[in-house]
Structure 1
């Protein structure tokens, strides 16, 4: 009798077993254990063979898995909606050319690659994209070999990557591997950041704030309005003795208010209804917070699930007066993708822009607008 079973999964492991049984005795069995990590990819595959009672173990070192040679788009969700909007927009040419104005060659290449892949994926109903450059293949393989194997679960509530500790398994590639590509800012910009405070809007579990400690000798103000993520943020601060990370349990928007936020982990959003439970959160403006605490701001990171334009409206005075460097997520919706850069340009503050999308397992997610005033 041939039996096939999938025994299930445990954290990062999955195991599959196929066996040939005769009169209740296993004659031949093959068990495959796959160890993988959140965010993409399989780290290693172990196979155990049992032949007439003899056990043989084998490790597949060069396992070919499509999660290493493809990047995700998805049939639903943020990237899929962005793909649909781009593919069906009758005025797309004007928007693309307007967005390209003033960008450097690399940013235009990044921008056109994202748009082309999203458009093609929507038209041909592709869930993944496998036509990658050699540089992308190499980077994904490097992430597989050097990033994922260094993420460790130490207990049910303690995880580690290098010298960083988190209370939950949330080690994003863009944060801990690429460090948001902050070194792509000009050296003068990085020096300005070094001696001023950082605003982390959408701090989640405090992972980004941990990285920002390397880039400033002042404080990082970590804004996270949801109950669960805020508790994780407090634990992260404690686990890492991160005394310069200041937690703030508020959302940042265009005006003081109360708002309902749809709870969905890292995708919790005031803008998008994720058909999940919601919480009431307090919304304040960055301008009021900076004024109240008399802050010098050198850098602002904004990743707040489609609420970025509302944030900018409530931060205009701070941006105008202090001209901090900024990293703004623009991938949550088409209006952000095409309108945030023109919005800041219309303020005539002398900002230069880059569009950066580091290699990970997604076509557009984590795409960001880098803004700096080069003096």
Structure 2
């Protein structure tokens, strides 16, 4: 019996294996994995050919990134499972939809439906993209990736933004975190106040935020590795208004162990063995100590968002800044962050926005603003 089997998908760092089998025995196998990104929309793919399990040929292909990810990766399988198995999901969805505009409701319910379907069918990828999504992915792969240039092993550029590493996230540099989804009056208020960047990573978001305020951007990054790259980013761009703080923000002052995973380093999610002891403070204490006027807060801290909000309640209550809060790391974040802020009765309006990229749920955020 002759058959062709496929194990995995061509995704950055993951092995994809295609084999020709006869009665369950592998005759010819082609293994491939993305080993590097070369800039200009080009990736390097390592390919290995085997006959009866013996390697006969190795090679490296260069291929346009546009052809690698034609579908949405679900990535957060635990979130999908929690949503699919939640017996109270109907009530939670209906409660969350209250007060949202039609576009936000469509965004929210599409994400939930896709994650639920992926879990039930045991799929890692979502295939039912809309025409609008396909067109946007095409624009990203032809207009964004090709304009990221590698100048050396430690210098990359997109437009006028320099980074010491290839960390040009679609949500940050292509969409600028969708900040223009805020009302014009909100953006005008942000312009004259400080910005708080919670989860600074390598300073990518902070670079973009410079155009949205004439004041300072305080960016919090607690991990040593990311913090050192953040300092290099500031230096490369002569970004004197970006103030780096090597601390995490949470609900109380403490020491904590953070799981190190690059952009996904987390105080909640523990997916890797490397850890680092860090200092945790509250935003309220920091704002009080430095007498800040806060116009905007961006929070993307891998599932620690609710703890952050507990330690920022006074600042939010008194100053009512616009906020962008990630809600995709945990199922509970989808359904509990908005009600938490609503319970404070501060007059916030909400939107749920998910920029189109190559994922089903990543970068989904709750946009909060007080419209006067």
Instruction: Bin the TM-score by the shorter chain.
Output: 0.7 to 0.9
> How far 1:130 moved relative to its partner?
1.2
Question: Could you tell me how far apart the structure 2 residues matched to 1:8 and 1:209 are?
Answer: 29
Kept after mapping to 2: 8 A contact 1:7/1:17: no
- CA 1:274–1:131 in 2, change beyond 3 Å: closer, same or farther? same
> How far 1:10 moved relative to its partner?
4.6
Pairwise CA RMSD: 2.2
Structure 2 residue corresponding to 1:118, chosen from 115, 119, 124: 115
Matches within 5 A, 1:27-46: 33-36=61-64, 42-43=65-66
- CA 1:292–1:17 in 2, change beyond 3 Å: closer, same or farther? closer
Structure exhibiting the larger radius of gyration computed from Cα positions: 1
> How far 1:9 moved relative to its partner?
4.0
- 2:45 corresponds in structure 1 to 14
Question: Could you tell me how far apart the structure 2 residues matched to 1:244 and 1:271 are?
Answer: 30
> How far 1:187 moved relative to its partner?
0.3
> After TM superposition, which residue ranges in structure 1, 4 or more long, deviate above 2 angstroms?
2-12, 14-18, 29-36
Q: Secondary structure at the match of 1:269?
A: coil
- 1:81 corresponds in structure 2 to 78
Is the aligned partner of 1:203 residue 2:200? yes
Summarize deviations over 1:170-211 as a string: whole Å, max 9, x none: 000000001111000000000000000000000100000000
Matches within 5 A, 1:214-225: 214-225=211-222
> How far 1:15 moved relative to its partner?
5.4
Is the aligned partner of 1:319 residue 2:320? no
> How far 1:152 moved relative to its partner?
1.1
Summarize deviations over 1:85-140 as a string: whole Å, max 9, x none: 01000000000000000000000000000000000000001110111110000000
> How far 1:5 moved relative to its partner?
9.2
Q: Secondary structure at the match of 1:348?
A: coil
TM-score normalised by length of structure 2:
0.86
Kept after mapping to 1: 8 A contact 2:44/2:60: no
> How far 1:31 moved relative to its partner?
7.7
* Runs of 5+ consecutive residues of structure 1 not aligned to the other structure: 19-28, 37-41, 44-64
> How far 1:367 moved relative to its partner?
0.3
> How far 1:33 moved relative to its partner?
2.9
Kept after mapping to 1: 8 A contact 2:268/2:304: yes
Kept after mapping to 2: 8 A contact 1:264/1:276: no
- 2:265 corresponds in structure 1 to 268
Q: Secondary structure at the match of 2:279?
A: strand
Question: Could you tell me how far apart the structure 2 residues matched to 1:95 and 1:7 are?
Answer: 40
- 1:302 corresponds in structure 2 to 299
Is the aligned partner of 1:91 residue 2:88? yes
Q: Secondary structure at the match of 2:239?
A: coil
Kept after mapping to 2: 8 A contact 1:73/1:80: yes
Question: Could you tell me how far apart the structure 1 residues matched to 2:58 and 2:229 are?
Answer: 40
Matches within 5 A, 1:166-181: 166-181=163-178
TM-score normalised by length of structure 1:
0.85
- CA 1:5–1:314 in 2, change beyond 3 Å: closer, same or farther? closer
- CA 1:190–1:5 in 2, change beyond 3 Å: closer, same or farther? closer
Q: Secondary structure at the match of 1:125?
A: coil
- 1:22 corresponds in structure 2 to none
Summarize deviations over 1:267-326 as a string: whole Å, max 9, x none: 101111123211110000000000000000000000001110000000000000000000
* Runs of 5+ consecutive residues of structure 2 not aligned to the other structure: 1-27, 38-42, 50-56
Matches within 5 A, 1:1-375: 9-11=35-37, 12-14=43-45, 16=47, 33-36=61-64, 42-43=65-66, 65=67, 67=69, 69-74=70-75, 79-375=76-372
Kept after mapping to 2: 8 A contact 1:220/1:244: yes
- CA 1:5–1:116 in 2, change beyond 3 Å: closer, same or farther? closer
Question: Could you tell me how far apart the structure 2 residues matched to 1:5 and 1:344 are?
Answer: 49
Summarize deviations over 1:59-107 as a string: whole Å, max 9, x none: xxxxxx361x311014xxxx21111001000000000000000000000
